[in-house]
Amino acid sequence: MNLLFELFLEELPTSEMEHLEEEIGSLLEKTASENHINIKSSSFYLTPRRIALKLELDDKTKGEDIRIIGPPKAVCFKEGKPTKALEGFLKKNNATRNELTFEKTKKGEYAVIVKKGEELDTKPLIIDGVREIFLNIHFYKKMRWGDGEFEYVRPVHNVLFLINNEVVDFQFMGKKATNYTFGHRFMSPQKIEVNFSNYEDKLKDNFVFVDHNKRKQLILNELKREAEKERASLVYDDELLNEVVNLVEYPVLVVGQFEERFLKLPKEVLITSMKDHQRYFAFMKDGKLLNRFGAISNIKTDNMEIIKNGYERVLRARFSDAEFFFEEDKKHKLEDFVKKLDEMMFHERLGTQLERTNRLVELSGFIAELFGFDEEKARRAAYLSKADLLTQMVYEFPELQGVMGREYALLSGEDREVAEAIYEQYLPKDEEIPKTPSGITLSIADKIDILVGGFYAGLKPTGAKDPYGLRRAALGVIKTVVENKLSINLIEVLKRSRELYRVDVDFSEILEFFKTRFRNMFDTFDHDVIEASIYKFDDIYDAYLRLIALDKFVKNDPSKEKRFAIKRVFNIVKDFKETDVDESMFRQDEERELFSIIKGLEDEQEKLIKDKKYYELLESVADKRGVINRFFDKVMVMDKDERIRKNRLSLLNRLRGVVLNIADFKYLEI
d(CA 256, CA 276): 17
pLDDT tens readout for residues 430-454: 889 999 999 999 999 999 999 999 9
pTM reported for the whole predicted model: 0.81
Q: Over the range 234-271, which residues count as b (16 or more CB within 10 Å of their CB) and which as e?
A: bbeeeebbebbbbbbbbbbbbbbebeeebeebbebbbb
**Which residue type is seen at 245?**
V
What percentage of the chain has pLDDT greater than the value 70?
100
Task: Determine, yes or no, domain membership for 224.
Answer: yes
Which 8-state DSSP code applies to residue 581? -
Task: Determine, yes or no, domain membership for 275.
Answer: yes
Residue 382 has pLDDT above 80, yes or no: yes
Residue among 329, 320, 324 at smallest CA distance from 405: 329
Radius of gyration (C-alpha) of the chain in whole angstroms: 34
Confidence band, pLDDT 50/70/90 cuts, at residue 388: very high
Residue 310 has pLDDT above 80, yes or no: yes
175 and 227 together in one domain:
no
Q: Average pLDDT for residues 402-406, to the nearest whole number? A: 97
CATH number, domain with residue 424 = 1.10.3210
Label residue 7 left, alpha or beta by phi (over 0 means left) and psi (-120 to 50 means alpha): beta
Instruction: Out of 174, 205, 236, pick the residue that ends a domain.
Output: 205
Confidence band, pLDDT 50/70/90 cuts, at residue 506: confident
Beta bridge partner(s), residue 432: 429
pLDDT score, position 63 = 72
pLDDT tens readout for residues 20-30: 999 999 999 99
Our count of domains for the chain comes to: 5
50 and 163 together in one domain:
yes
Beta bridge partner(s), residue 171: 176
161 and 246 together in one domain:
no
The domain in which residue 552 lies consists of: 543-667
295 and 349 together in one domain:
no
3-class secondary-structure state, position 357? helix
Instruction: Out of 521, 551, 566, pick the residue that ends a domain.
Output: 521
pLDDT tens readout for residues 622-642: 999 999 999 999 999 999 999
pLDDT score, position 99 = 85
d(CA 76, CA 82): 6
pLDDT score, position 575 = 83
Task: Determine, yes or no, domain membership for 477.
Answer: yes
Residue 149 has pLDDT above 90, yes or no: no
75 and 107 together in one domain:
yes
Cβ neighbour number for residue 34 with a 10 Å cutoff: 11
Q: Average pLDDT for residues 158-187, to the nearest whole number? A: 97
Q: Average pLDDT for residues 319-345, to the nearest whole number? A: 96
d(CA 448, CA 473): 7
pLDDT score, position 443 = 98
81-82 vs 351-352, strand pairing mode: unpaired
Confidence band, pLDDT 50/70/90 cuts, at residue 670: confident
**Which residue type is seen at 513?**
F
Task: Determine, yes or no, domain membership for 135.
Answer: yes
Q: Average pLDDT for residues 120-132, to the nearest whole number? A: 95
3-class secondary-structure state, position 533? helix
Q: Are 89 and 80 in contact (CB under 8 A)?
A: no
* Angle made by CA atoms 25, 28, 33, in degrees to the nearest 5: 125
Helix/strand/coil (H, E, C) string of 61-127?
A: CCCCCEEEEEEEHHHCEECCEECHHHHHHHHHCCCCHHHEEEEEECCEEEEEEEECCCCCEHHHHHH
Task: Determine, yes or no, domain membership for 530.
Answer: no
Average pLDDT, the chain: 94
Q: Over the range 506-521, which residues count as b (16 or more CB within 10 Å of their CB) and which as e?
A: eeeebbebbbebbeee
Q: Average pLDDT for residues 340-356, to the nearest whole number? A: 94
Q: Average pLDDT for residues 209-238, to the nearest whole number? A: 96
436 and 475 together in one domain:
yes
d(CA 583, CA 585): 5
Residue among 387, 279, 288 at smallest CA distance from 343: 387
570 and 636 together in one domain:
yes
Q: Are 541 and 524 in contact (CB under 8 A)?
A: no
Residue 64 has pLDDT above 90, yes or no: no
45 and 156 together in one domain:
yes
The sheet that has 108-115: what strands, in order across it?
66-72, 108-115, 100-105
276 and 231 together in one domain:
yes
Q: Average pLDDT for residues 189-201, to the nearest whole number? A: 97
Q: Over the range 159-195, which residues count as b (16 or more CB within 10 Å of their CB) and which as e?
A: bbbbbeeeebebebbebebbbebbbbbeeeeeebebe
Helix/strand/coil (H, E, C) string of 199-231?
A: HHHHHHHCCCCCCHHHHHHHHHHHHHHHHHHCC
Task: Determine, yes or no, domain membership for 139.
Answer: yes
Q: Average pLDDT for residues 265-292, to the nearest whole number? A: 94
348 and 441 together in one domain:
yes
513 and 634 together in one domain:
no
126 and 108 together in one domain:
no
d(CA 462, CA 404): 33
pLDDT score, position 78 = 87
Spell out the residues 6+ positions from residue 189 whose beta carbon is closer than 8 angstroms to its own.
182, 183
CATH number, domain with residue 586 = 1.10.730
- Of residues 260 and 577, the one with the higher pLDDT is 260
pLDDT score, position 67 = 83
Q: Average pLDDT for residues 181-202, to the nearest whole number? A: 96
Residue 66 has pLDDT above 90, yes or no: no
Q: Average pLDDT for residues 120-144, to the nearest whole number? A: 95
Which 8-state DSSP code applies to residue 60? B
Instruction: Out of 205, 221, 249, pick the residue that ends a domain.
Output: 205
Q: Are 153 and 16 in contact (CB under 8 A)?
A: yes
Spell out the residues 6+ positions from residue 239 whose beta carbon is closer than 8 angstroms to its own.
none
Task: Determine, yes or no, domain membership for 455.
Answer: yes
Task: Determine, yes or no, domain membership for 110.
Answer: yes
- Return the C-alpha torsion angle 555, 557, 563, 566, nearest 10: -110
pLDDT score, position 176 = 97
Residue 147 has pLDDT above 90, yes or no: no
